[in-house]
A and B are shown apart, each in its own frame.
Chain A
Amino acid sequence: MGNKRIGFSTLSQKYVMALAGIFLMLFLVVHLTINLLMIVGDDGELFGEAVQFMITNPFIKIMEYVLFGGFLIHILLGVILEIYNYRARPIKYAKSLKTEKSRFSKYMIHTGVIIFIFLFIHFLNFFFVKVGFVPVPEYADSPHDFFPMAVVVFQNPLYSAIYLVALVFLGFHLKHAFQSAFQSLGLNHEKYTPAIKVIGTIYSIVIAVGFALIPIYFLFFYS
């Protein structure tokens, strides 16, 4: 009768999905804060110090593994849920007007896949250099000398365009994600939920626009 599913109830999965999502959203805030140091106009000096702190601090080192775990769980559960849900309606409607109230909810798998592909490109540009999968380019002093790498990547209009497009989709993904995480954890209250929705919208715009400033800065304002 029922579809095969992994050993946990869909509701438990929902909880884990929400918790992993919240963790990733917090990570984005940290990531953005540090990255914005690149565009303060000191040729990456402050940014370099922040990077130095991040790669030497033992807590951050542990968190890096947790972060990977978070990504992995979030992606796996997302894909499993999508397949499971697809199979819950073997015969589709001939005519269907979608009425989702959270508009981007319908496209979470699509925006998710785009972000996943982007993540791979992003890793090729930066993270894989750090861990040694990709050789350190000659203009960088060390595997974590990210500033010159960012300059080269973002002064390439193609890369900048890829980043900007990916960030738009990230914004869409986050727009649904933020309030959805609260709902999944059971935090829905007539007094606070409208505020959560507004904060979620602001959050997704701040993250997308904030990150977008970096390629824009290097492409147009840095020489």
Chain B
Amino acid sequence: MNITLKIWRQKNANAKGRFVKYNLENVSPEMSFLEMLDFLNEQLIKKGDDPIAFDHDCREGICGACGMYINGRPHGPEKKTTTCELHLRSFEDGSTIVVEPWRSKAFPVIKDLMVDRTALDEIIRSGGYISVNAGSAPEANSIPVDKHSSDKAFDAAECIGCGACAAACKNSSAMLFVAAKVSQLALLPHGKPEAARRVQKMVKKMDDLGFGGCSNTYSCQIDCPKGIDVEFIALMNREFFKAKVCKSKAK
């Protein structure tokens, strides 16, 4: 199949970027989106051009490194699919595909399609430590966790920290990410002692880093490659409320 790409090129964080058009002929519909970019980069390198910079690592949808805004959606048009798991068969022959980096004040562009997502790590770091008993594993029944809670915690833990939620959100809000991280711990007995402090610190960090405020548009859930549910945002809101009203100030 033949495709035309309009890709955002930007030399470095401070340079002014622009879209550059590339025509690719005879690419296989079975190619993954990243393979297609590799293929294009090989051609660019042969011509002596600067290859397109983009983030990737596992290429199997588990690390959260990849992420670009493809044809108006983070990670492209397919549901619950990371950019690395997207294939050209999802596009029509002869179509033009627009590829942009995540756009958010909290995600500055490093180069081309690569953005700095340190902000997400900073939010996690601000949550602080989680107390767990070191040493041999505790007797399972001494910390009972019901099936429902453990399933839910696992659902929340599926978040791969790609940042698509903030990229999709019209407000550039990272609520879904923060909610997933808060919820996976809030649902389990581990780390309970720090729960109140954790949620307040993480919310504060999220605000400080320049993410927007959530207005319940729910586009995050639709574009999240792991399908994290907005019910976790409500859970975080509850945790936050409990912490603010019932607990002393977070230090």
Task: Please give the residue numbers on chain A whose beta carbons come within 8 Å of chain B beta carbons, in ascending order.
Answer: 1-3, 5, 9-15, 81, 84-85, 87-102, 105-106, 108, 176, 179-180, 183-190, 193
What are some 21 contacts across the A-B interface (CB < 8 A)?
A1-B208, A2-B207, A10-B207, A10-B214, A11-B237, A13-B213, A14-B214, A81-B215, A88-B172, A93-B100, A95-B71, A97-B72, A97-B73, A98-B170, A99-B73, A100-B218, A105-B218, A176-B216, A185-B237, A186-B239, A188-B230
Is B221 in contact with chain A by the CB < 8 A criterion?
yes
Contact of B204 among A9, A90, A95 (CB under 8 A): A9
Complex alpha-carbon distance, A188 and B72, angstroms = 29
CB distance from A94 to the nearest CB of B (A): 6
Residue numbers in B under 8 Å from A13 (CB-CB): 213
Residue numbers in B under 8 Å from A97 (CB-CB): 71-73
Task: Please give the residue numbers on chain B whose beta carbons come within 8 Å of chain A beta carbons, in ascending order.
Answer: 6, 8, 19, 69, 71-73, 98, 100, 103-106, 168, 170-173, 203-204, 206-219, 221-223, 230-231, 233-241, 244
Main secondary structure of the interface of A (DSSP, over half): loop
Most buried by B among A11, A15, A90: A11
Number of A-B contacts (CB under 8 A): 137
| Contact yes or no, B217 A183, CB < 8 A | no
Contact of A99 among B100, B209, B219, B238 (CB under 8 A): B219
| Contact yes or no, B104 A89, CB < 8 A | yes
Contact of B173 among A9, A88, A101, A108 (CB under 8 A): A88
| Contact yes or no, B213 A186, CB < 8 A | no
CB distance from A80 to the nearest CB of B (A): 9
Complex alpha-carbon distance, A95 and B238, angstroms = 35
